[in-house]
Amino acid sequence: MQGIGVLESLQELFAADPDVVDRERLGALIRHGRAVRGFLDAADVRFSRRSRQLAEAGQSESPMAVLMDEGRRSGKEAKATQDRDRVCEQFDGFEDALAAGDVSGDHLDVLARLTRNLADDIAADVRTEAADLLASASNDYVSQFERSTKERIACITSQHAPEDEAAELDRQRAESNMKRWTDKASGMKMTLLSLDPIRDSAFHTAVEAQLARLRQDPANAKVPFSLLQVEAVMAAVSSDASARRIPEITVHVDHESLCHGRHDDTLCEMSDGTPLPVGTAQRLCCEAIISAVVIDPDGTVRQLCAEQRTANRQQRRALRAMYRTCAHPHCEVGFDHCRIHHIQWWSQGGKTVLTNMIPLCETHHHLVHEGRWQLEMTADRITTWIRPDGTTWWRGACNDRTEPARRANRPRPKARPPDQLLV
């Protein structure tokens, strides 16, 4: 039946001269075009599927090569076709809807992008909502469909264990990168930064602070805004500016979540609404770069500034005198690149006193909060590292600048990459 519709549409398109039609006829022609395009997009999905089967049976070169050679397409286009093929296989009803012109290839592209990196169990849950997704794709414009699908996936993700959320952030951290190239036509130098939400927020808060300063300067009154933005980025990355203390991130979190972890009504997000794993909010509380807005049990809002939470200058100096590096026994990251971690977490009542503080590099700070390793420390600074399953991994002193530890620990285990622990 769809085939007949497409044939009719093709005949209409052949017969028509779009250059002279009135508005009503133009609308009809565009709809015929949509029907034909949907049919061809759905045919592409079937071509991709068949090329996969042939390649698996050893009767063809790779599906990518077939789609590119026979279709005269770029690798990017061939990849997009394969992505649509995957979506049609995983989400019931989408292939028929595509063939019927009820949803567009762009809808499928959105779904492909949003589901590409999901953990298996989350992806399985998203697939159970295929009927709702299809209804939304059939009724909504692509941008609306993208927004609602994002929300749907965020909701499903948050229903899973909080560590899945942290894993998502870990993945984003690991995928962060910077690309730099020269645009041949203009000779302009291009830089593309891909950042996880936390570093993005830190980066933009620093830029915004510089931008606000530049805009106050009357000398800049006539400078175009886009140029000022660039000036602000340059100022933010210069070493002077980074010495100035700016609260880089604001986190909104309710008291119950901060102290005891996620519950049904957890609020834990950045100021732009990006949801944040509770473990991450707890880790950020150790760091000077955030201001936390905490909603207390009685509903009042407390702004907690860095001074209440983080080591002061004297305490840092004392810790530096004890630790040359991160307090992880295999870590060589220097003290000045470390965060000061609260052994008893600040969010759980830990005090900002020397006996409760220890320097950890970012990787190991992450390991303790999001990775759910436990760290214990005696009054004489013997630390115990406990795996998430409760077994002890290491016990000893890492205050490597002080005499007893130097005696007890020599030779200190050397430079095993800290990442090994994360697996």
Q: Is 5 exposed, middle or buried (0-12, 13-18, 19+ CB in 10 A)?
A: middle
- Among the residue ranges 21-29, 143-151, 205-213, 337-345, the one whose residues contact Zn ion (CB under 5 A): 337-345
The DSSP-derived string for 70-115 is: HHT--HHHHHHHHHHHHHHHHSTTHHHHHHTTSS-HHHHHHHHHHH
Which of residues 276, 290, 331, 405 is near Zn ion by CB under 5 A?
331
364 near Zn ion, judged by CB under 5 A: yes
Select 31 or 260, whichever has its Cβ closest to Zn ion: 260
Residue 293 is encoded by which pair of tokens? 């807005």
Q: Does 341 bind Zn ion (CB under 5 A)?
A: yes
What is the distance between the alpha carbons of residues 355 and 382, in angstroms, rounded to a whole number? 11
CB of 161 to Zn ion, least distance (A): 21
**Residue 367, interface with Zn ion (CB under 5 A)?**
no
Kindly state the number of chain residues that form the binding site for Zn ion, as judged by CB under 5 A. 9
Cβ nearer to Zn ion, comparing 211 with 331: 331
Stretch that binds Zn ion, among 137-145, 230-238, 292-300, 340-348 (CB under 5 A): 340-348
- Amino acid in position 102: D
Query: From the CB of 170, what's the least distance to Zn ion, in Å?
Result: 16
Q: Are 367 and 387 in contact (CB under 8 A)?
A: no
Distance from C-alpha of 414 to C-alpha of 419, rounded to nearest angstrom:
14
Query: 86 or 342: whose CB is closer to Zn ion?
Result: 342
Site for Zn ion in 301-330 (CB under 5 A): 326, 328
**Bridge partners of 177?**
194
The gap between the terminal CA atoms of the chain, to the nearest Å, is 54
Interface pattern 236-275 for Zn ion (x via CB under 5 A)? ----------------------------------------
> Of 207 and 290, which CB lies nearer to Zn ion in the complex structure?
290
Of the candidate residues 78, 286, 292, 357, the single one contacting Zn ion (CB under 5 A): 286
Sole binder of Zn ion in the list 361, 367, 397, 405 (CB under 5 A): 361
Q: How far is the CB of 330 from Zn ion (least distance, A)?
A: 8
Which lies closer to Zn ion via its Cβ, residue 181 or residue 393?
A: 393
Please say which residue, 91 or 373, places its beta carbon nearer to Zn ion.
373
- Nearest to Zn ion of 371, 418 (CB atom): 418
Q: What is the DSSP letter of 310?
A: S
Q: How far is the CB of 181 from Zn ion (least distance, A)?
A: 33
> C-alpha 109: how far from its chain's center?
19
CB burial of 303-335 (b: ≥16 within 10 Å; e: otherwise) equals: ebebeebbbeeeebeebeebbbbbbbbbbebeb
What distances in angstroms separate CA 5 from CA 2, 43, 88, one per listed residue? 5, 15, 22
**Least separation, in Å, of the C-beta of 318 and Zn ion?**
18
**Candidate segments 115-123, 307-315, 362-370, 378-386, binder of Zn ion by CB under 5 A:** 362-370
* 42 makes contact with Zn ion (CB under 5 A): no
Peptide bond into 411 cis (omega under 30): yes
Stretch 112-151 residues interacting with Zn ion (CB under 5 A): none
Of 254, 286, 287, 289, nearest to 269 (Cα)?
254
Q: Contact, 163 vs 373, CB < 8 A?
A: no
Looking at the Cβ atoms of 209 and 340, the one nearer to Zn ion is 340
Return the beta strands (E) in 125-244 as ranges: 177-182, 189-194
Q: Of the two residues 52 and 341, which places its CB atom closer to Zn ion in the complex?
A: 341
Beta bridge partners of 385: 375, 394
Min dist CB 407 to Zn ion, Å, is 22
Among residues 271, 312, 304, the alpha carbon closest in space to that of 285 is found at 304
Residue ranges of the alpha helices (H) in 219-323?
Answer: 225-237, 239-243, 255-260, 278-284, 306-309, 313-322
- Minimum gap (Å) between residue 377 Cβ and Zn ion: 13
Nearer to Zn ion, 63 or 359 (CB): 359
Binding-residue pattern over the window 393 to 422 for Zn ion, x denoting contact by CB under 5 A: -------------------------x----
Pairing of strands 290-295, 249-254: parallel
Site residues for Zn ion per CB under 5 A: 286, 326, 328, 331, 333, 341, 361, 364, 418
